[in-house]
Amino acid sequence: SDVPHDWLFQHVSAVCHHGGAGTVAAGLRAGKPNIVVPFFGDQFFWGSIVEKCGAGPTPLPGKRITAKKLAEALTAAHEPAVQVAAERISKAISDEDGCATALRMFHTHLPLSRMQSDLESTFVACYRIDEYDLQVSRPVAQVLIATGALYESRFSSHPTREWTYMYDHRMH
C-alpha cells in the first residue's frame, strides 16, 4: 500500500525523489531539503526550481547518478543554509492563502489589451487583420466575411498570450 508523503516526510531529515511536482510540493511543505533525481519530463524543471530556491542541491539526473554524487548531495542537503531555506519555504506555504493568491495572480496577469476586440467589447479578440492593424473577435470576423467586406484569408490567428518555456540542457 501507499505511504502518504505528508506523514512520511515529517519523520526524515531530507527527501530524495524523482522530482515530480507533487513530491516536490510535499517535501517543501514538510520543510525538508529535497534531493531531486529526475528521469524525464518536468522533473528536471522542478529539480532546478528546488536548487534555485536553495532548498536542495543541484539535481542529479537519474542517468548519471553515482554513489559518490548521491553522498555529496545528502551532505549538501544537510547544510544549515539548505535546511533554513526549506523551512522558510514551508512557512511561506503554510502562511499562504493559495486560492486567494491564485485568483489575484490570475486577474493581475490577464493580458487585457491583447484580449479586447478593437471593434466591439462583448467577445475576446481571436483574429488579427494586419492591413488595418486590428484585432477582432470571432463574431466580428464572421460578419466581415459573410458580408463580403473581407476574405477569410485576410485574417490571422491572434493568440492572447505568447508562451515560452525553460529548458535546461545540462540536465539531459
Q: What is the value of pTM for the model shown? A: 0.62
Domains of the chain, each with CATH number or no CATH: 5-104 (3.40.50.2000), 112-157 (no CATH)
Query: Residue 2 corresponds to which cell in the numbers above?
Result: 501507499
Q: Supply the angle between the helices 21-29 and 80-95 in degrees, to the nearest 10.
A: 100
Separation CA 65–CA 59 (nearest Å): 10
- What's the CA gap between 132 and 105, in Å, rounded? 33
As given in the structure block, the three cell numbers for residue 58 are: 543541484
pLDDT of residue 171 exceeding 60:
no
pLDDT by residue (tens digit) across 113-168? 889 999 998 999 999 999 999 999 999 999 999 999 999 999 999 988 777 776 66
Half-sphere exposure of 162 (CA within 13 A, CB side): 0
Three-class DSSP category at 28: helix
Three cell numbers written together for 61: 539526473
Distance, C-alpha 126 to centroid of its chain: 25
Q: Which of 49, 41, 44 is nearest to 86 (CA)?
A: 49
Residue type, 83: Q
Confidence tier at 112 by pLDDT (50, 70, 90): confident
104: cell is 489575484
